Structure 1
């Protein structure tokens, strides 16, 4: 009984309007990295489906940067803590940990020998620190600002120089080591968002909320000029990144464009127009080998094409908010994973390659709580926006007509053959046939939590807070309450019929998983124990012989019907968060989704 992690489909960066996002690049040119929640996500730049997630921070991680040697990554979080950890081992062993400032870390820079680092951000006593990476002892002072420092960079050859940019609309230039304040850079009229030295150290640039990019001499800090004359961009500039040969750079702006500049001539060679929506604002960029990347406010990562500025070579999509529900469906023999998130976003993924996209058109406006596929190849979803949606998965677009408005917020939806759907709402149970409400049950006398329709379409089971399962018979277009209930140990949190209809499985808040035999009138009951905390998700394998449960204890158990001792235990499935939903691709492959906005696939061996 063993398991193995097969794939990680990583989350997108977590974005905030008007706040720049630092993307780190690997000095060898293979990977790039960014942060989401308490995770640092490392992705292969040529094949972004290859990803690794680092989860050791206790607070939200704000920035991560590779050391120039490529052997370590330094990541800083909202509490001011910086962790320096190994990139070569799968375990990512911690090398050192420091708290150089007492607030959110905004940027990190290393000297080219990987021995010293500068950390800036928000703090109580100071907004920046520069220290030796192996002892934490200070090698200078980054004082001189009255507001938080947004950005820092270190010249990558001797004599070393440090430049910083701050919310007080100025930058500062330091010489060292030990680093001492030399003078203030005061050409910007708004926040200074990003400062970067060219790789050869001859120049550095500062960019700001005033839409300007200024160029300076890397060694002396003397002003040289600006890019683009009057204005570099029509909006605030959040990030810049130099070309490896130091002759060009790209800049990302709130005006929804990325520009490619010839630094010597001071002119824009190419303007990449990224869209017209507010979510198309560009908040981060990275020039890595031949790849030009930018990050939109939506969290999408764009690979820019110099030859075709109006269309990126590829756009990496996914989730940036917590995943709430999952389901799997095969189209033309290829399994696709459908995932719904906290912000109403639904994505579909090729289970083998990780290629993914979202449905086009306007979908849910709030959390997607449950998703299932019916026999008409429609994805049936219920959401906190009080609707049920039926979306054709072959057309891959939302239909305005296939939305059913509910009287109360739906918590759960299930489907059966013949166009039947059952929605369990906060104070109501609704039976639907062919996307229309045909029957509602009100004044239930108990609080319904979750429901399931028998695959044969004859029975609806509803689990409640009254620690009972209520069985209703489906007769034509009505639900008939014949007073049949089954006692459970606790409040039912999730339930499902097996694909062959032989069993009903439930989990409850008393940490019990139970399987009832349908053939002997639900009297045959087997209980499975293992979870230390409330289980919240449950899914049957396609062969109806195994089922998986996920709990608030971060555990996933795969149980065998009829043998309570035969189980696979997957601890720490998503490390920081419980598994919000589970689905099966086949009898040996389980998919899990969680609040880290990542999807994982596990190979199981019985």
Structure 2
């Protein structure tokens, strides 16, 4: 028995309204990178389905940048730690770790020889530092600002120059090394609001500053003298959050809160192309990157847009996915193709087609959930049934991809299960609700236990409900009612999940005491086996299509693959998701397992028994 990680469907960048997002580019032009929570995500720019995740920071990471050599990446977190790590090895070995100041690191810049690093942000005593990458020794001082510094860049040609942009509405200019403060571009003459981004052109002749006042100014890269204001009095109608230069320094792109990205011809000072990204608030553009022939921008939604110069109204590609914790996953085969459906704590449901070489992501049209999606299953009619903390259960037609039918619950549903005959069971706080054909048909209140999870037997007729008292309660479905059988099954502790095998022969139950118990249904729910191995609470279960094996995921970040007939025959996947517990599992086929976690990524594993 063995396993192998086949694919990582990485999370999107974590976005915050009104805060620019730095996207780093690989100097060879092959990859781009960004951050989400404690992860740094590296993606192939030609095929963003190829991804790698660095997870060694103990605190949320805000920025990561490649060294010009391409061999190392420097990443900075909210505590002020900067880690410099290797890009050539799969393990990403740590080379150095420094703490230039205590507080958020918001931007990083390297000198072209990959020997010096500048970091800026929100320190307590200072807002920036410049040091040698291999010793941490200071090579100058970043002064001249009295508020948070949002952005820094270093001229990539000698003589070196360094520039910073701050919340004090000013830009500071430095000469070096060692870098010394030269002067500040005065507030009255230039930007009237926060400076969000500063970037030198690759040839070093110019640098651009972008501000929340909608203006972009160009300065001489060597002297710091103002050269022009792009677009005259205003470059954008909204705040400008990021700029990125073309490799030949003749053009740049700018991303704005007015929901557009503009492509500027620097010499003639005109916007050659305006990319209109939408009308919703989530279409605000907070980051951009010009990498080889690719023009990328990042929306407030976290979506990564590949801009099309020939068709400004429609991106070439939009990389969708999750930017928040994923709570549930299910799979379904439709028209000969497999799909993975996942739901996150912002109510977003994502559609992933793993067979497609580009790992296409999509979403449903229509109004979806407005809060955390806690459970999802596909019923016999090919509808996705989801329950959410917005106190609703939704039925979504998977062919039309339209979230249409909605059932309002009296109390918050925790999970939902489906069975034959159009039945569904919603397990709510202190309540069980039986649904038939998308309508509530029976409610059971005043329970003697607190229900936590539920399952419907595939053959119909039976509902199993797990309680916080460590017991499984069995009910008969009689017409439109639920009737207690008076039969209970006992497990080791409070129940977290329970699932019938696809053929209905077994019921697997997981509990908080780290045990999975399997009962044989045909033998009157006699105990078949108990499975031990997890180091912490077991959270979720999923049966393989072969009904011989099942998977369990726990708070210990481990996934176990079990054989029903032999509790000792198992496969352990340690650190399946490095930073968070396993939140949900599903089988694409009997040799492919899908796992999700609060790291907002989806992983696909190949399993051999």
TM-score, normalised to structure 2, is 0.99
**What does residue 14 of structure 1 align with?**
14
What is the SS of the residue equivalent to 1:456?
Answer: coil
- 8 Å CA contact retained: 2:539, 2:555: yes
**What does residue 346 of structure 1 align with?**
349
CA distance in 1, matches of 2:436, 2:209: 61
CA distance in 2, matches of 1:221, 1:314: 38
Map residues 173-322 of structure 1 onto 2, 5 A cutoff: 173-186=173-186, 187-322=190-325
Q: Which of 587, 596, 604 is the equivalent residue of 1:601?
A: 604
Question: Once superposed, which parts of structure 1, at least 4 consecutive aligned residues long, lie more than 2 Å away?
Answer: none
Instruction: Confirm whether residue 576 of structure 1 aligns to residue 579 of structure 2.
Output: yes
Q: Which stretch of structure 1 is more off in the superposition, 377-386 or 524-533?
A: 524-533
Deviation at 1:524, TM superposition (A): 2.9
What is the SS of the residue equivalent to 1:572?
Answer: coil
CA distance in 1, matches of 2:566, 2:86: 42
Can you list the C-alpha shifts for 1:312-345, whole angstroms capped at 9, x where unaligned? 0011000000000000111122111000010000
CA distance in 1, matches of 2:406, 2:608: 41
Map residues 200-599 of structure 1 onto 2, 5 A cutoff: 200-353=203-356, 354-399=359-404, 402-599=405-602
Deviation at 1:482, TM superposition (A): 2.5
Deviation at 1:525, TM superposition (A): 3.1
**What does residue 74 of structure 2 align with?**
74
- 8 Å CA contact retained: 2:517, 2:527: no
Can you list the C-alpha shifts for 1:217-237, whole angstroms capped at 9, x where unaligned? 000111111100111111110
CA distance in 1, matches of 2:319, 2:353: 13
Can you list the C-alpha shifts for 1:341-390, whole angstroms capped at 9, x where unaligned? 10000011112232110001110000000000001000000100001111
CA distance in 1, matches of 2:315, 2:176: 41
Can you list the C-alpha shifts for 1:199-251, whole angstroms capped at 9, x where unaligned? 00000111101111111100011111110011111111000000000000000
CA distance in 2, matches of 1:522, 1:589: 29
**What does residue 28 of structure 1 align with?**
28
CA distance in 2, matches of 1:557, 1:76: 34
CA distance in 2, matches of 1:204, 1:12: 29
CA distance in 1, matches of 2:71, 2:435: 57
What is the SS of the residue equivalent to 2:209?
Answer: strand
CA distance in 2, matches of 1:331, 1:459: 28
* Unaligned stretches of 5+ residues in structure 1: none
CA distance in 2, matches of 1:192, 1:482: 68
CA distance in 2, matches of 1:351, 1:140: 49
What is the SS of the residue equivalent to 1:414?
Answer: strand
Can you list the C-alpha shifts for 1:380-413, whole angstroms capped at 9, x where unaligned? 00100001111010111111xx101011100011
CA distance in 2, matches of 1:380, 1:4: 31
What is the SS of the residue equivalent to 1:524?
Answer: strand
CA distance in 1, matches of 2:47, 2:491: 48
What is the SS of the residue equivalent to 2:103?
Answer: coil
**What does residue 50 of structure 1 align with?**
50
What is the SS of the residue equivalent to 2:113?
Answer: coil
What is the SS of the residue equivalent to 1:418?
Answer: helix
What is the SS of the residue equivalent to 1:265?
Answer: coil
Can you list the C-alpha shifts for 1:253-304, whole angstroms capped at 9, x where unaligned? 0010000111111111111111110000000000001100000000000000
Instruction: Confirm whether residue 165 of structure 1 aligns to residue 170 of structure 2.
Output: no
CA distance in 2, matches of 1:218, 1:465: 66
What is the SS of the residue equivalent to 1:15?
Answer: coil
Deviation at 1:488, TM superposition (A): 1.4
TM-score, normalised to structure 1, is 0.99
What is the SS of the residue equivalent to 1:279?
Answer: helix
CA distance in 2, matches of 1:173, 1:255: 29
Can you list the C-alpha shifts for 1:540-564, whole angstroms capped at 9, x where unaligned? 0011110100000111001000100
CA distance in 2, matches of 1:300, 1:47: 15
CA distance in 2, matches of 1:601, 1:223: 52
* Unaligned stretches of 5+ residues in structure 2: none
Instruction: Confirm whether residue 95 of structure 1 aligns to residue 98 of structure 2.
Output: no
CA distance in 1, matches of 2:218, 2:540: 55
Superposition CA RMSD, Å: 0.6
Deviation at 1:589, TM superposition (A): 0.7
Deviation at 1:477, TM superposition (A): 1.2
